[in-house]
Structure 1
Amino acid sequence: MSTTILLTSFQTWLPDHKSNASDDLLLKIQQESNPFPEQAISLAYLRQLPVDVFPASDLAIAEIEHLQPDVVICCGMAESRSRLTVEAGATPLYLVAQVYWLVYYIVLQKIFSFKGLSYYLSAFLGNKINIQTHFLNTSVDLEELLQGLTETEISYDAGKFVCEGLYYQVLSYLRDYSPTTGCIFVHVPLLTPENLSTILTDFRLIISRIAVWAMIQRQNQIRQTTTAA
């Protein structure tokens, strides 16, 4: 059985950006004819999401509902970092920096997702946000996933901006509607001729290993269902 993996990336958001490193990386993988010849992996792409939590989350969740992937790998650019970083989880603290997006979303958008908005409002309207309580962890074992990789490390700070917002909303959605689907967020540094080869190698290994992780999850679920029956 093939493992379906949805990969997402962002558009640029500053005038001096010619491209977004997350999208550059996905394009490199997409251009390869058969990056995983020894595995049954089906890659689907949702590239160049808008740099805006609300529509980006709506688009990602709609694609997840349509595609029903085994794994979601969200990618974003981190200019200040020099290596790939995989985020351990996300908090709703991006809302502090995104209040104006909430106003924009409610006032100016004619159509929006009430399902997505429910997550934002529940976090935003709380009397006090306890970071530990609201930190949503990925269900993927990152220590095992990244073992031995030379250009990748675990991060515990997803950025408090659109990247963290998207990650938090996707994790929230999967927790409520598809708990067996895995999700990680990968921050991508600026790609250069010097780092491109090693980053591509690590990213391919991340995809390959998370596909194995998803296969094990499916097997465990089948085993549990059979035992329960």
Structure 2
Amino acid sequence: MPDEPLLSIRDLHAYYGQSHVLQGVELTVGQEPLALLGRNGMGKTTLCLAVTGLLPTVRGSIRFAGQELVGKPPHRIAALGIAYVPQGRRIFPSLTVEEHLRLVPRRRRADGGEPWTEERIYTLFPRLAERRRQPAGTLSGGEQQMLAIARALLTNPRLLIMDEPSEGLAPVIVEQLVTTLRHLAQDGLAILLVEQRLAVATAVASRIAIMLSGRIVWETSAAELLGDPERQQRYLGVSAWQAA
């Protein structure tokens, strides 16, 4: 189907034991960045795990580039072109920056664009070049986030899923992160950004989805959400000064 979105999620249910976390999620992601917002405990990370195959107890449909993902193991899903930057970065503290990047399996870029290489990573993140022989556990939080993104990019994905990338970062580093994500989107990379910070989400994506209690309850534009303080408070617990 020529008009099929890159990622299409239909009637998705997911469980932790007997706990029914995702309750019929409907969502699509195309080439335009999509930000998924919601308070803690609403199911955002569970959705990321379901898409990447890290949460096997699911039912429904997750289609990526025309292929069904439900039932596929994580390494097969990654090979199709989905890269995941998890909440908390999940780097190996004892490995150097250089060792992290050398561990990544390399794949061709599906759209024929310039592939991601270590040299290109160091151009995007000069701080990593300066610290290439430094153990990752000694990096700052912002540098660790750069490394987590770099590791994902080296797989040359078609879709980058990022779970709470601004968590614990200083404002100046968050600004750099936003700039980087915008640059990646302009380069043709599809992005699903999971965030709690309204300002970060709306700075990266013009399309927003709100998750509440395991369901997508509202899809809107960044402009409409920013102009609706009542819904910001209802769905996100965001006051007017926080939104500003």
TM-score by length of 2: 0.28
TM-score by length of 1: 0.29
